[in-house]
Chain A
């Protein structure tokens, strides 16, 4: 039996080696290197990273083909929370304000969409007044009114029916949740939310109980899109949202695919943002990333909608053969470990610092995929793409400098100061459905051991995060001293990134994101100052201060400022990455160079 099994394994290994050789040979037949753009029409490596590629070659018409290994959480504008859904939703939804269709940092600036201009702000930042454009219509040709905008926003309050989406706007307009949502609204027109008034069909006024300097950013989220009351199918709206944008749903089958076609009632003259180049937009959901990557490379598809980057196999092929079709932007996400202060000995700052110093940051970066697929070594907790972020220039623990390979001596000094000169034992919690995170945990475990810190790895079901690591009582009970996570901004400001992570008011019994259990009055106060000021320079300065306070507290061990390696087909033009969408391509104005 033993001989047979060994023989079988040998055959298996031989067959595997032959197959891999076959795959590589076939891959090598794929064509020449398009590093700088070539006859295949590729724009060149990083040609669309923070700049616009091939805008002048785009023609109107054709079918733009997306593929994705995951469907959106919801296509209902009130409920969607996936980053790529927010990007994609601009095809069929409009907001009062939206992000500029421009590359990089410029793309994170706001511009009027349904509104005629930026709002009139009065009453010390507590009143925002917008006027709607002429010619804005729904997919059936009826005009979009201020009441439609109000109703769409009111739906955010109906969390018992429309759960899933962000609720910033509810927190800013009605922090005590006095309004119960349009489905429980007893007023005749279901427009009972007092914080929003609509003096006429073209004017909408927001009354905030206290100023919030990011209110305009929140209005630019797709959850602030208009929804028409007679077309609101409540929970089922996600299956067929009624379009206010240049495209409308033709068909959607959850988990299979989506087809958008032109909304013939949309008027280009009413929309200064969207160019609406293709005639049709398709999204196929694939269950095999290798397959979808390969089809992307072969030209069957144009863009990966989920924008999570190529898989390891396709990455190697694309870097060798199709480099001119790749972009490598910073994503806006930071990957990190966080130390809950409720788990001993992480209540002691010196023990937290010991872990930061003991970690081998280069090994961790390699475990995450290296500089290209993983990202730059993270040195602090504010993404470089967010105003106030300093990137690697701010590196208080020399993570990317002198200590990048780990500094056991410094770690031991901190352990002594912590009262644990011989080290300690702890547990690293990591999602089992994220291979990179498990590899990161293993790498961290190995480097901590050198300093005498023994860490067990606890893998848990990632889809249960909110109940496992998001429940502080569970974290304390299971003694999860190190939690591996990642976070990206909901909107590109320090509030949109850090408020749920660092403000003590956001500590929740379940679904908590302030894993470190930070209760720092200075940080809370800085957030209050940030939301109260309208001065952009001051906002940026406060964002930097908040980041410094968080970093000084040693609550986090940043791993990487994540980078993406995304592929664009040679068919697409007017391509650029946008900071508003975490370094993803700005979908809404993609066009095709050939409509065939």
Chain B
């Protein structure tokens, strides 16, 4: 029988201090992980092209650039520095800001400086904070939809196993898992926006108009939720079926507890543990940028920013979004680990 517990060590009864110690330990581990990620990403972006004989600086200058111009740009970007010096400048910039000086022009990137985009002449941090709310809104809105519909469909399918409802829901779930977002996204736009004209489908910032924002987000939410709800429905159904066969469920029923209590209080708690694990991973990844969804619906979020950056070799933006993604995944997993203890008393944080 599956006792689910956190990854760290043996179980122990933890008071508030134990929880705090656990959090500090996990945060420290997350910080170390982030440093490792930065190092790896730096190597991928700045060292590998060098080994391959590609001069990154040359992609920042015009078609007619002479070697002197390329050299000047290389100096401005600090690309001639050893990789560890570049990494050090990056870390330092996060805490104290950074100044880029070349050719009589001085550009100051204020702390927290996550780099400076020489493609768009902007600090990376404001770009990230400007685009983050769009992606967060997309991820959270879709998560609410897929949790509500996915989990409900999964539970109902498990309870009515073999019924028409069960078969129908699972066929829809299979379609949801099988169809890629760029397909369902385009289809939904073609039907509801271009065809029927019910929804404009054009993104409007929340600060400009709530109804406009809702109109722009509803199709991305539904499209994204359709994919994830399908996966959640299938996982919920499988987990619920397994749990309904457990001894403690039989005991609860034998004690004469109402079916709603057996399902809602006992079975659901155990079912939610793997669901939460998935949610943590999925939300973390989505917050880093739902590239396909944002591209299909032209949402100006992190996913679109990183795609533009890839097209234009805007390495600082790619680096910034990669770090945000890593951070989001780490935080989401931390939150999920803490939530385990809330929903399942058998789990204690260690």
* A, B bound: yes
Binding site for B on A (CB under 8 A): 8, 11-12, 15-16, 19, 22-23, 26-27, 29, 70-71, 79, 81, 158-161, 163-168, 171, 177, 181, 183-184, 234-236, 238-239, 253-256, 286-288, 290-292, 294-295, 298, 300, 433, 463-464, 466-468, 470-471, 474, 500, 508-511, 513
- Interface size classification for chain B: 35 or more
A433/B311 in contact, CB under 8 A: yes
Contact across chains for B120 and A463 when beta carbons are under 8 A apart? no
Structural contact, B121 and A235, CB atoms closer than 8 A: yes
Shortest CB–CB separation between residue A456 and chain B, in angstroms? Answer: 18
Q: Which residues of A are found within 8 Å of B266, using beta-carbon distances?
A: none
Q: How far is the CA of A16 from the CA of B60 in the complex (A)?
A: 41
Nearest A-chain residue to B313, judged by Cβ = A463
Q: Which residues of B contact A161 (CB under 8 A)?
A: 76, 102-105
Decide if B63 touches A511 in the complex (CB within 8 Å).
yes
Collect the chain B residues with CB atoms within 8 Å of residue A22's CB: 187, 190-191
Given A254-B122, A463-B311, A463-B313, the answer on whether A290 and B62 have CB atoms closer than 8 Å is: no
Minimum CB–CB distance for B309 against chain A, Å: 9
Mark contacts of B60-96 with chain A using CB atoms, 8 A cut-off: 1 yes-contact digit, 0 otherwise: 1111111111101101100000000000000000000
Contact A467 B59 (CB under 8 A): yes
Q: Is B339 an interface residue (CB 8 A)?
A: no
Chain A residues with Cβ below 8 Å from B298 are 286-288, 291-292
Decide if A463 touches B59 in the complex (CB within 8 Å): yes
Complex contact A467–B53 (CB within 8 A) = yes
Contact A255 B60 (CB under 8 A): no
B195 proximal to A (CB < 8 A): yes
B295 engages A468 (CB within 8 Å): no
Q: Are B295 and A166 in contact (CB under 8 A)?
A: no
By the criterion CB–CB under 8 Å, are A164 and B61 in contact? yes
Q: What distance in Å separates the Cβ of B10 from its nearest Cβ neighbour in chain A?
A: 38
* Bound-state Cα–Cα, A560 to B233, Å: 52
Chain A nearest CB: distance from B6 CB in Å?
33
Asked if B141 is at the interface (CB within 8 A of a chain A CB), the reply is no
B251 proximal to A (CB < 8 A) = no
Assess A181 versus B103: contact at CB under 8 Å? Given A16-B183, A81-B63, A474-B53: yes
A residues near B70, Cβ cutoff 8 Å: 510-511
Q: A287's contact among B75, B121, B191, B308, by CB below 8 Å, is which?
A: B308
Contact B69 A163 (CB under 8 A): yes
Q: Tell me whether A158 and B103 are in contact (CB under 8 A).
A: yes
Knowing A168-B64, A183-B104, say if A236 contacts B121 (CB, 8 Å).
yes
Known contacts A19-B187, A181-B104, A510-B67: A288-B295 contact under CB 8 Å: yes
Mark each residue of chain B from 162 to 184: 1 if its CB lies under 8 Å from any CB of chain A, else 0.
00000000000011001100010
Contact A26 B191 (CB under 8 A): yes
Residues in A neighbouring B190, C-beta threshold 8 A: 22-23, 26-27, 294
Q: CB within 8 A of A464: which of B59, B66, B187, B294? A: B59
A-B contact pairs, 21 of them (CB 8 A): A26-B191, A29-B195, A71-B308, A158-B104, A159-B68, A159-B69, A160-B103, A163-B65, A166-B63, A181-B104, A256-B300, A286-B298, A287-B298, A288-B298, A294-B190, A300-B202, A464-B49, A464-B313, A467-B59, A500-B63, A510-B55
Which chain B residues lie closer than 8 Å to A467 at the CB level?
A: 53-56, 58-59
Q: Which residue of A lies closest to B200 (CB)?
A: A300
Q: B99 an interface residue at 8 Å Cβ cutoff?
A: no
- Assess whether B296 is interfacial by the CB under 8 Å rule: yes
A-contact bits for B309-327, CB 8 A (1 contact / 0 none)? 0011100000000000000
Residue of B nearest to A292 (CB): B298
Q: B118's closest neighbor in chain A, by CB? A: A235
Give the residue of B121, B183, B186, B305 whose beta carbon is less than 8 angstroms from that of A239. B121
A299 to B72, CA, bound (A): 46
The residues of A that contact B66 with a CB separation of less than 8 Å are 159, 167, 177, 508
B125 at interface by CB-CB < 8 Å? no
A161-B104, A286-B298 known; A26 vs B73 contact (CB < 8 Å): no
Contact of A164 among B62, B174, B183 (CB under 8 A): B62
Report the Cα distance A508→B63, complex, angstroms: 11
* Nearest CB in chain B: distance from A165 CB, A: 6
Q: Which of A19, A158, A470 has the most CB of B within 10 A?
A: A19
For B178, give its contact among A11, A287, A511 (CB under 8 Å).
Answer: A11
Docked CA distance A70–B312 (Å): 10
Residues on B with beta carbons closer than 8 Å to the beta carbon of A464: 49, 54, 59, 313
Residues of B within 8 A of A158 (CB): 103-105
CA distance A517 to B68 in the complex (A): 21
Chain A residues within an 8 Å CB radius of B311: 70, 433, 463
**Which residues of chain A are within 8 angstroms of B178 by Cβ–Cβ distance?**
8, 11-12, 15
A475 CB, min distance to chain B CBs, angstroms: 11
**How many A-B Cβ pairs are below 8 Å?**
167
A342: min CB distance to chain B, Å: 16
The answer to whether B194 has its CB under 8 Å from any CB of chain A is yes
Do B64 and A500 touch (CB < 8 A)? yes
Also in contact, A287 and B55, with CB within 8 A (given A26-B195, A159-B69, A254-B122): no
Chain B 274-316, CB-CB to A under 8 Å as 1, else 0, gives: 0000000000000000000011111010001101100111000
CB distance A160 to B189 under 8 Å? no
Chain A residue numbers with a CB within 8 Å of B63 are 81, 166, 466, 500, 511, 513
A184 B103 Cβ-Cβ under 8 A = yes
A474 contacts which chain B residues (CB < 8 A)? 53
The interface residues of chain B lying within 8 Å CB-to-CB of A16 are: 183
| A287 contacts B202, C-beta separation under 8 Å | no
CB-CB under 8 A from B307, the residues of chain A are: 287
Identify the 4 closest CB pairs spanning chains A and B, nearest first. A183-B104, A160-B72, A160-B103, A26-B195
Instruction: Find the residue from A12, A22, A254, A433 having the highest chain B CB count within 10 A.
Output: A254
Chain A residue with Cβ nearest B188: A19
Query: Does B107 count as interface, using CB distance less than 8 angstroms?
Result: yes
Complex CA–CA separation, A160 to B100 (angstroms): 12
Does A287 contact B187, Cβ atoms closer than 8 Å?
no
CB closest chain-A residue, reference B197: A298
Which residues on B sit within 8 Å (CB–CB) of A12?
178-179
A166 touches B297 (CB 8 A): no
**Contact partners of A159 in chain B: CB under 8 A:** 61, 65-66, 68-69, 72
CB pair A8–B297 under 8 Å, yes or no, is no
Q: Whose C-beta in chain B lies nearest to the C-beta of A477?
A: B53
Known interface pairs A159-B72, A287-B308, A474-B53. Does A166 touch B62 (Cβ–Cβ under 8 Å)? yes
**Whole-angstrom distance between the alpha carbons of A168 and B65 in the complex?**
11
Query: A254, A287, A464: which has the most chain B beta carbons within 10 Å?
Result: A287
Contact A287 B304, beta carbon cutoff 8 Å: yes
CB <8 Å contact, A287 and B195: no
The distance in angstroms between the C-alpha atoms of A160 and B58, with both chains bound, is 12
Contacts of A254 in B (CB 8 A): 120-122
Of all chain A residues, the one with the shortest Cβ separation from B55 is A467
Chain A residue at minimum C-beta to C-beta distance from B300:
A256
- The residues of A that contact B73 with a CB separation of less than 8 Å are 160, 163
- In the complex, the answer to whether A81 meets B62 with C-beta atoms within 8 Å is yes
The answer on a CB contact under 8 Å between A160 and B69 is yes
* Chain B neighbourhood of A470, CB < 8 A: 58
Q: Which residue of A lies closest to B69 (CB)?
A: A159
Quote the shortest CB–CB distance from B96 to chain A (angstroms).
21
Q: Inside 8 A of A234's CB, which chain B residues have their CB?
A: 104-105
Query: Which A residues are in CB contact (< 8 Å) with B59?
Result: 463-464, 466-467
Query: How far, in angstroms, from A236 to B109 measured CA to CA in the complex?
Result: 12
Give the CA-CA distance A243 to B308 in the complex, in Å.
Answer: 27
Chain B nearest CB, measured from A517 CB (Å) = 17
A19/B183 in contact, CB under 8 A: yes
CB pair A163–B121 under 8 Å, yes or no, is no
With A and B bound together, what is the CA distance between A22 and B192 in angstroms?
12
Give the residues in chain A near B202, CB-CB below 8 Å: 295, 300
Known: A163-B60, A163-B61. A288 touches B297 (CB 8 A): yes
For B68, the chain A residues whose CB sits under 8 A away are 159, 177
